[in-house]
Structure 1
Amino acid sequence: MAEDYRWNGQTSNDSILFNTLTSINCFLESMGKSIKQYELPALPTDSANKVRAREIEDEMSIQTPFEDHMLESKLNPEQQVAFSKILQKINSKESGMFFVDGPGGTGKTFIYRALLAHLRGRKMIALATATSGVAAALLAGGRTAHSRFKIPINANEASFCNVTVQSGTAKLLRKADLIIWNEAPMAKRFAIETLNRTMQDVMETNLDFGGKVVVFGGDFRQVLLVVPKATKEETIEASLVKSELWKKMEILTLTRNMRAEGDPYCSDFLLQVGNGDEHTSKDDMTRIPDQLLLKYDKEDIPEQCLINKIFPCLQENAHSIQYIAERAILAAKNDTVDMLSKKLIDQFPGTKHTFLSFDAAEDDTNNYYQEEFLNSLNPNGLPPHKLELKENAPIMLLRNLDPSNGLCNGTRMVCRHFQHNVIHAEITAGQHKGVHVLLPHIPLSPAENEGYPFKFKRKQYPIRLCFAMTINKSQGQTIPHVGIYLPQPIFSHGQLYVALSRGTSMANTKILVTPACPTQTCATFTKNIVYKEVLPYHR
């Protein structure tokens, strides 16, 4: 990086050092970190102030897509009511807390995009955040809430964001006219309460969120926050609906499903599944409508029939990014996803490139854990030891490499080329669709709750194939042609609802439940888990 500044005509070593450190610090701050956390030269105080001011400059320089400026005129009556209520609070300089509630496809993101375009068009600051990187990537300038507000990973009832009152983030919060936090049901209530306390501190007031207008949104019918090894009661207790802040929020409800407008039966069925109102058997098993079921002959291999249905004419269409981006198979467990992806990459045309990870147990001074054993481990959230890829194959990013430029955990891409030590890929969804990126191999460690008795580290490209993905990972994405494979029942709240609501119609959604009656001459049932205690209309 220093050489780049030298080539640009800078001759002073002090100037080159300053600009290099400034660029590094800006990138680190986009990830919720700071140059102070690393063994690097410190920036002078006056230069640090300039860097921090850049946070506001970056927010003011966000380019709003042209089509987003047209959304305000396209709001349906329900969306217009929500939009107007939020805007009225902003225009009157009043504080306000809202929660935009609605099933998938009712246009929650549509409202956020309209609000962001309206306010940014007036040179106002509107911060777009979401719990997941996938949801954040759908909004111009979107960032994960933890990254934007520097929320501690293990937030508790007394924690604060890693933000000082003199920092650039604090200055940005003071200037903000609106804060949007999408997919809020996926966040622990302690994270949201931590932001509230921090903003009260920054704004020097006891008003909730420092007197700002804050818009939360999401769908409690979807998969909730992940609390490792938690009971149902513990998961509910950690949810936003158990926070005192929830009682003060104005709920803005959307009911009109825009995604499935051409298929009203699909919309009604999804709502019944999400609310837990669909008729079930005595074992809480929900009947799957016949038009959703994949039919196959007894002599067929069920998994291959599903692959052929979702990825028809794969050989002929393998070079079409649109074809690849519009298709995926969902499953509840990683093992099933890996099996399906292995089948598909073997059938995908092209030369296979294999990348092996370097695995180590960092604190194993006695070499108790052999390399072969470490290579066999497949912890959640990490790429496999043996990563097999082909050009144009779909992949998913597993880490937040550069959220402000679309490289978030969950970003879907296709492989373009394989170069020395980097993979050339193209983003296929979200605001950064069509952007070409270079992915390095990096050291990765699993979450602490994986329970290994040693510190495991794997150096590998932070990606997985995504012909198939877990239901949880698909949340927030629209997949026009979606297959759902359920060799075992789902195991947590909202999984069946999320899987069924990723598609745009019943005609393009197919479910394979095994074992089942192949020709579907008998009814097929599957498990549906709903925690009604978290659904707003049940409370």
Structure 2
Amino acid sequence: MRNGMCKNHYPKEYLERTTHSEDGYPHYRRRQNNRSVRVRNHCLDNRWVVPYTPYLLALIDCHLNVEICSTVKLVKYLYKYVYKGHDRVSFHIHSENTSEDIDEIHEFQSARWVAAAEAMWRIYRFPISEMSPSVYTLQLHLPGEQMVSFHRNSNLSDLINSADFSKTMLTEFFSMNRRSKQTRMLKCLYRDFPEYFVWHSDKKKWTRRKRRKVIGRVVAVNPSEGERYFLRLLLSHIRAPKSFNHLLTVNGQLSSSYREAAFRMGLLQSDAYIEDTLDEASTFQMPWSLRALFSMLLVFCAPSNPISLWEKYEKDLSSDFERNGLANGRDPAYIRRCVLQDINRSLEQMGKRIGDYHLVPDDHLFTDHERFAKEIESERNIPFSDDDLLTVYQLNVGQQAAYNTIMSDIYSPDCKSFFVDGPGGTGKTFLYRALLATLRTQGHIALAVASSGVAASILPGGRTAHSRFKIPLDASSTKTCQISKQSSIAKLIVMAKLILWDEASMAKRDTIEAFDLLLKDIMDSDKPFGGKVVVFGGDFRQTLPVIQNATRDIQVQASFVNSTLWGSLQIITLTENMRALLDKPFQNSFLE
């Protein structure tokens, strides 16, 4: 029960015949025969009966729900259950002997969970699932950009000079259309080719299919990939192409790009190609994935009429919210608002807002109060594990001193900023997790960012600095971050007790200085970083700022240490390498 209502919409309505709804779910016949039964002080009739089959009830001898699966829309929901993988369980191994060597990798284990029924089924090798017809995944690549594999001991020069080295499904599809008149007469699209031919990966060639019908599927390509996306678009419309240049040739003229060729063919003169993409994606993608794709199409493909796209695909974009919302008694307007807010979240990650595309009337646009509440809720709902909470009690001497220094400054009226320096393995990330967990459990806001996506993914709630603070990609030309002083993000920064920036050693000093100007503007303060407690971290012994064709001197000059802000930081150095406790010479080599 949810809010006094059954989450599965029972009791159902009486019906004289079985019908199908628009979302693919059936409405079963339920006769009004005035028969009922009393169960646990409730009077139940045909409206309360869960769909079943008498045969399976007698065979399995337990409660069993059987539903009709008769539309294509249900296939993608069934598919994810068949291929979701094994049940898994996470467990933690620990010992009372604290003098043992620390093994951060094996401290946590993730294992497969097998119950008795599944164990018996797999021991006897009973089939788990079957799929027919099989699906051929067709490779897609730009000229000369195909993926190749080879043995470690192979001679690279021999491989490059080999005639078969550059052959792929796509190049041999072109070759078959050039060499075989019979193949050209079929006038196949690339995706239809496997219905007539079979690919031999060992010989790298197509041969005529004699048995088994299969379905071809070209790998999905995101519109943000540019030329590769338009190559896929052309392959979906041009039959029996003979080469990459054939795809580029329109009305006897060779185009300079696949986008230009698609435009000349009239594929980009309307939103038809975007609709083709959404039509295909809505068939097999989950609603949350479809909303992410819809957001990318809005940002990168600039559709001429976003409102018509929204109206056409609103049902597909909203199916999960609609199913859950109606179960809770929500009205369609509320469900539509939730879907638009989810799309807006995706757009904001790419620097856009839903208001830029006029998808909702002005009176439905999100207020600053709603946006601010959403930002606060998102930050305060960042999950943290019990192990993150325990990190405070597992800090070594150097980490504990750094932790105490930073925490005392956070609650001090005279705030400073810090730089945590230390070679790889000295526990910088471990210290960051302790700081973040402490502040967040106390109900405070702590923003975690990093210079790279990989580093950001390690931090709980981490994001790249450019994404969080809207720092321009080229801060040398303009140091204005795209955040207004009245925005919800600005209010979130004001509320933050701590801003933590990992791998700051990789960032150019122009980037850090743009961040400094942003904080000064938001905080109305001339102090470094607006008087906020900012903890930078990194290792200048590793990767310096990446500058194309730059000498070492230019790289050093662009580094954070050469900024005027560097002198305002309190440097904290970690020296105890936790990954090499038993190998002192190796540990000392990091510090040399």
Normalising by the residue count of structure 1, what TM-score does the alignment of the two structures yield?
0.48
- Larger RCO, structure (CA 8 Å, separation 6 or more): 1
Write 1 or 2 for the structure with the bigger share of strand: 1
Write 1 or 2 for the structure with the bigger share of helix: 2
Normalising by the residue count of structure 2, what TM-score does the alignment of the two structures yield?
0.44
